[in-house]
Structure 1
Amino acid sequence: MIGQKGDGMGKGSVILVVEDDALLADMALEMIEEAGLTAIAVDSVDAALDYLKENAERVAAMFSDVRLRGPLNGIELAAFVAVRWPQIAICVTSGVALERPYRLPKNAQFMPKPWKPQEVIAFVQKAVRPR
């Protein structure tokens, strides 16, 4: 695990950031914290799945890079999360692709890097709104 920011640990209030670049993970954590939300950062698909297995009921959204360490990438992680935990909002990001990857689940959002803070904040705020 890379880190955690914020203190709103209520049900469905955590944003899971999956990013193996520590500087980008910190940047995402700061943006989410500025929106008044709690974020947890992990640096791999395995760490994300381990966290979700124990805490999925607290996770409102997952914000993941496409390229990650390990055998799976962020698109494959998004596809698994969309099926296993459909209540979690998903946003996948990439510094390489400018267009939505075709294999991304229909309910997942795509955001090219560099991130625009207002887009990140809008995504996480929408994710924590009661449905």
Structure 2
Amino acid sequence: MSVRLAEQLPATGHVIAIEDDPVVRMLFEETLAELGFSSATFDNAAAALSHLEIIKGECILIIADQGLPGGIRGSEFIRLAKERWPLIPSILTSGYVVDEQVIRPPTIFLRKPFTLNQLEMTINSVLQQ
């Protein structure tokens, strides 16, 4: 991580990340901690949605993988969250082709595989909007 990029990001905040792959989920946790964010990570959207309700939408960013187990896809989770808390920025990730119509602006799409630098730059871009 570059010091210059870390200086551009907000100093604190809570991020919710939903990713079914445990390695990528751990990558999110570590990267977010290095950038100064607290995070809650989940392997399915239903658990993440429950958490979001408990914290009353108090988070600065949602990162969601499109291909989640349990019937709620990442884009659907983002849509549900934004219906209640429309100002939460979001990043949708996937290693597969995602129909552009499901990526509703201002959500940013980050294609897998991505580098740590790409993840950091995307987080910075979303939070600067």
Assess same fold via TM > 0.5: yes
State the alpha-carbon separation in 1 of the partners of residues 110 and 61 from structure 2: 14
Tell me, yes or no, if structure 1 residue 21 matches structure 2 residue 21. yes
Unaligned runs of 5+ in 2: 1-11
User: Percent identity over the alignment?
Assistant: 22
Aligned-residue Cα RMSD (Å) equals 2.1
State the alpha-carbon separation in 1 of the partners of residues 38 and 124 from structure 2: 11
How many corresponding residue pairs? 118
Unaligned runs of 5+ in 1: 1-11
- Aligned partners of 1:65 and 1:94 also within 8 Å: yes
Do the aligned partners of residues 71 and 15 (structure 1) sit closer, same or farther apart at CA in structure 2, a change above 3 Å counting?
A: same
Q: So what's the TM-score if we normalise by structure 1?
A: 0.79
Do the aligned partners of residues 103 and 122 (structure 1) sit closer, same or farther apart at CA in structure 2, a change above 3 Å counting?
A: same
- Structure with the higher fraction of residues in helix conformation: 2
Tell me, yes or no, if structure 1 residue 82 matches structure 2 residue 78. no
- Tell me what 1:6 maps to: none
- Tell me what 2:100 maps to: 101
Equivalent AA in structure 2 for residue 20 of structure 1: D
Q: So what's the TM-score if we normalise by structure 2?
A: 0.80
**CA deviation after TM superposition for structure 1 residue 61, in Å:** 0.4
